[in-house]
Amino acid sequence: MSNVGTFTVEDGVGVITIDSPPVNALGIAVRRALQEGFNIFGANDEVKSIVLICGGRTFFAGADISEFGKPMQQPDLVGTLSQIESASKPVIAAIHGTALGGGYEVALTCHYRVAVPSAKVGLPEVKLGLLPGAGGTQRLPRITGAATALDIIVGGNPVPAQKALELGMIDALVEEGNLREEAIAFARKIVAEGRPLKRVRDRQDKVDADKGNMALFDDYRRRNAKALRGFKAPENIILAIQAAVELPFEEGIKRERELFRELQASTQSAAQRYYFFAERQAAKVLDLPSDTAT
């Protein structure tokens, strides 16, 4: 049994709860717990649907950036997401706090997404000089269309739950403070109504509508030229979303990985990541009581 994951069955719904303080980052312990939970419930005939929820103050906050530059332990994030997406039973992501970066990429591989009104979702990797490297640039355009995906991913800002619902980024809002119970009820409803396993990767209508429309991407570059000048990540994101529109999903994923690795190895991203950690470290003063006034 994992020390960061608990697995319970409630009237036919398997509930995977991940609790890895402080923010449920998607490090190796969390990925192994997810693998274990989906293996257990996949083999349990009593389980008809699965709810994925997190303890603590937030849903998965994102990838464990401390693992960057180190040999990746298995299962890696891409393999973990593939296991979730290929589950033979409906998987519902139950979101509170924030589902950002890799956290929202996890939610995108679930078949359905519910969230409390105070939650926020998004793909802010651009702020680290990166792009979403686990399918975010390929799945989000299949929900929102390329134009909206460009605004969300290149902009990098969190999307409040109500707006996310309007855009289709989540499927339902549930009562604040009652996430677990309402997510389980939603999972039972999915089964009772015989709803299909809705894999985002299989959706084509939004990207097919943009296919061949290269002016969409050129216009975006032109409108945002001043804000994007000097930064490499936005252009790679544009190219990745263009791949989502023009290529089959698996080919688009390969293109996304190429563009991600290019950024990951760049001095610009290294500098932006250094700034990210340094800014947070600067706010922590040793031996200073946490309640000290500014």
Active site amino acids: 105, 125
Q: For residue 57, give the amino acid letter.
A: R
Residue 153 near residue 132 (C-beta atoms within 8 A): yes
CA nearest to 24, candidates 97, 120, 91, 83? 97
Q: What is the Cα–Cα distance from 196 to 35, expressed in whole angstroms?
A: 23
Name the pairing type of β-strands 49-54 and 120-122. unpaired
DSSP 120: E
Q: Centre a 10 Å sphere on the Cβ of residue 203 and count the other Cβ atoms it contains.
A: 16
Q: What is the Cα–Cα distance from 57 to 160, expressed in whole angstroms?
A: 16
Residue 116 near residue 174 (C-beta atoms within 8 A): yes
Angle at 272 (CA atoms; ends 270, 276), nearest 5 degrees: 115
